[in-house]
Structure 1
Amino acid sequence: MHHPFLQHNMSMFNSDEGNCSSGSTGGANPEKMYKGIRCRRWGKWVSEIRVPGSQERLWLGTYSTPEGAAVAHDVASYCLRGNTSLHKLNFPSMLPPTARADLSPKSIQKAASDAGMAVDAQFIASRGNTSNNEALNVSVDDYL
């Protein structure tokens, strides 16, 4: 069964690539808007997550957009914590109905990174479009 991860309008996202300040987010700071992300001095967005019950952190990657980093964090959080994490996610309505608790930390890391990179790629590809209503078409099943 195909579970759409991101099949929403681009207008749902407020990315201003390479900008850590409010940019096009309507005055909101993306670091405060999205959980699990932070901005590097040079304008790239990064994400990492702590493995429950340990001090270990999983590095989820570096992204051009805050949304890419936020999606990576969501995928990892969902894989690590399952449905108990839904209220803490950035985009909970876009996750599949079942968690994959059987993934290793490395597999979770890869799935999260791939999903975040796919979101970044969609934003970069859509920058040249005049319409902001193009749907993101990324499935979490493609990365798990």
Structure 2
Amino acid sequence: MSSSDECGGSGGGAISSSTQKKYKGVRCRKWGKWVSEIRVPGTKDRLWLGSYATCEAAAVAYDIASYCLRGPSSVQGLNFPLMLPPGVGTDMSPRSIQKAASDAGMAVDAQLTVKQPQKSTQESSSLNDGCGSTNWEGMSGLRENEALNISVDDYL
């Protein structure tokens, strides 16, 4: 899959779902925001993890919550398993998990949106649904093997 493929989600628009890169726990709203939520194991409850500008940020929020809820056995099913912050725990309350996941997603959003080159007016107006592609391989900011600079200890 090329780096110019879109992130996954239900708001794919003009591009077929077979060409999209799909992240677990992430979907795109009609207006272009990426949202993330996760089910609490053993219940019918869901934890709302937030709304983000990029699909990568929503995916990181899902990863943090998934690891906190399911423990080390969930590492293989994460979107970015190498990006878990050090000290992330599995003994947090749902509210603390929500906060940690949201903060991680917002940190990724901040890094990615600052690093993205500004689009021209003509280029940004040509987007169909706001869920455009993100080429983050060429960015000097966040990389998959780079740990996030957040502390879960703040939420305990």
TM-score, normalised relative to structure 2 = 0.67
Q: Partner residue of 2:109?
A: 120
Letter in 2 for 1:38: R
Q: Percent identity?
A: 54
Q: Partner residue of 1:28?
A: 19
Question: Structure 1: which 5+ runs fail to align?
Answer: 1-11
RMSD: 2.9
Which structure: greater strand fraction?
Answer: 1
Q: Partner residue of 1:135?
A: 141
For residues 14-93 of structure 1, the aligned pairs below 5 Å read: 20-21=11-12, 28-30=19-21, 33-93=22-82
Deviation per CA, 1:42-97: give whole Å up to 9, x if none: 11111000111111110000011110110000000001111110111000122246
Which whole-Å CA distance do the structure 2 matches of 1:14 and 1:98 have between them? Answer: 33
Q: CA deviation at 1:14?
A: 6.7
Question: Structure 2: which 5+ runs fail to align?
Answer: 119-136
Number of equivalent positions: 124
Which secondary structure does the structure 2 equivalent of 1:117 belong to? helix
Which whole-Å CA distance do the structure 1 matches of 2:99 and 2:34 have between them? Answer: 17
Q: Find the partner of 1:108 among 76, 80, 97.
A: 97
Which secondary structure does the structure 1 equivalent of 2:51 belong to? strand
Alignment CA distance shift 1:122-1:128 (3 Å):
same
Bigger drift between 48-57 and 94-103 goes to 94-103
Contact 1:39 1:46 in 2 (8 A): yes
Q: CA deviation at 1:101?
A: 1.7
TM-score, normalised relative to structure 1 = 0.73
Bigger drift between 105-114 and 95-104 goes to 95-104
* Higher RCO (C-alpha 8 Å, min separation 6): 1
Which whole-Å CA distance do the structure 1 matches of 2:52 and 2:4 have between them? Answer: 15
